[in-house]
Each structure stands twice: as C-alpha cells, then as structure tokens.
Amino acid sequence: MTKTRTPTAHIAPFGLRMQNDLREALESAANISGRSLNAEIVARLQSSLEKAPNQQASELEAIQLAVREAVRDELKEILPKPKAK
C-alpha cells in the first residue's frame, strides 16, 4: 500500500520558535542529509513517533521485570523457607 502525501503547497504554515543553537544543529543536519530545514524537522518528528510504541513496549517490559524481581524478593523474606530433608 502506497501512502500518498498532501502537496506541501496545501499545508498551512506552522510557526515554530526554538533556540538558535538548536536551529543551527538542525540546519547542519539538514545540509548533511540534503533536506530543507522543514523536511529535516518533519523527518525527525515522524521518526520519533514511529519509534515511540517500540520504546514504550521495551520500557514496560523493563518495569514488569523489575516488579517481578521485587515481588519475588519480598516473598522470599515473608514466606517460610523450605525445610531441608
């Protein structure tokens, strides 16, 4: 399935304020990648949104593991230890 994009001429402009050092870094990255400043910002935003679900899933897995380990450690302290035969 091919995505069709709206021509940029039909997209309303969006003003964005940013620190000069950030703008300079983005302009440098845009020059290196051969994109306009706008295209660089859009590409980086899209990339961050596409990665977000994967990052959230891995963070959730890490939290689940930490909770399991904490519960296991607490249960070891609370439950009686098995008697040796």
Domain extent listing, the chain: 20-78
Tokens standing for residue 37: 């400043």
Contact 26, 41 (CB under 8 A): yes
pLDDT single digits (tens) 45-83: 988 877 767 777 788 888 999 999 999 988 888 888 777
The residue written with tokens 């709206």 in the block is 6
pTM of the predicted protein model: 0.54
Per-position DSSP letters for 9-78, written without gaps between them: GGSPP------HHHHHHHHHHHHHHT--HHHHHHHHHHHHHHHHHHHHHHHHHHHHHHHHHHHHHHHHHH
